A and B are shown apart, each in its own frame.
Chain A
Amino acid sequence: MSLSGPSRTIVVEPLKAPVKAPAPKTVPPPSPVKEPART
């Protein structure tokens, strides 16, 4: 295996793995509504 002739230097980014969709954020359940204290 040989490569003859002039070469050209370039910089190449790596092959990236398929990007996964971000997981949906967990929304905390609403806090229970407290009834106002009766006086």
Chain B
Amino acid sequence: MTAAVAPDLAAPVLGFRAWRIVGDRLMSPYIPCRWDGRVLHAECFDANRRLQGGRGWLAAPHASPHPDCQCGIYAYHRPGTQGYYGEWLWTEGVLSVWGRIEAHAQGLRAEHGGIEALARPPRNDPERRRAVDAVAERLGVPTVARPELADVAAALGGPLPVALRPSR
């Protein structure tokens, strides 16, 4: 519950991340989590805890994200941290995050996340372009050229200030 907690930052925080595209739905790249809408609220599923033999995942149920777990909605402070997901259709985008945040040096794990924009694939990748357009239309979010993702995030408030990130 964060409703009664004074925020450390009364300003929007934006991050960058990628998704796999399955049908007209976005999926988290590494865990079986489907984004049915524009907004997702973090949960630490039992299936997550079985990943990697359970290493790094808390066994007991807990609110997500937890500092001692790997759960939460992931986003990076900079775009383009990873841009290829094998044979999957995929896209990158801008995510606004709020609630409790576990801030890391390179990115963050959030309690709540909302998709603000998706990157439009290049014309020479028509299958992926069609897939992203369909997802964006269904979610009601804009598509922008990939180099513009940082500008979109900056216009909405920018990434987590460096002063609030832990040092490596």
Q: Which listed residue (B28, B110, B165) contacts A8, Cβ 8 A?
A: B165
Distance between Cα atoms of A10 and B162 in the complex (Å): 13
Chain A, interface size category, equals: 10 to 19
Which A residues are within 8 Å of any B CB, using their own CB? 1-16
B157 near A12 with CB under 8 A, answer no
Measured between beta carbons, the chain A residues less than 8 angstroms from B9 are 10-13
Measured between beta carbons, the chain B residues less than 8 angstroms from A12 are 7-9, 11-13, 97-99, 101, 110, 160
Is there a chain A Cβ closer than 8 Å to B2's Cβ? yes
How many Å from the CB of A15 to the closest CB on chain B? 4
Distance between Cα atoms of A8 and B2 in the complex (Å): 16
Measured between beta carbons, the chain B residues less than 8 angstroms from A8 are 102-103, 164-166
Please give me the residue from chain B that is nearest to A16 by CB atom. B12
How many Å from the CB of B45 to the closest CB on chain A? 16
Is there a chain A Cβ closer than 8 Å to B6's Cβ? yes
Measured between beta carbons, the chain A residues less than 8 angstroms from B166 are 5-8
B2 near A3 with CB under 8 A, answer no
Contacts A10-B101, A10-B164 given; indicate if A3 touches B106 (C-beta within 8 A): yes
B164 near A5 with CB under 8 A, answer no
A11 near B8 with CB under 8 A, answer yes
Q: Mark B60-103, 1 if CB is under 8 A from A, else 0.
A: 00000001001000100000001000000000000011111111
Contacts A3-B74, A3-B104, A15-B157 given; indicate if A9 touches B67 (C-beta within 8 A): yes
Distance between Cα atoms of A19 and B36 in the complex (Å): 27
Measured between beta carbons, the chain B residues less than 8 angstroms from A7 are 67, 102-104, 109, 166
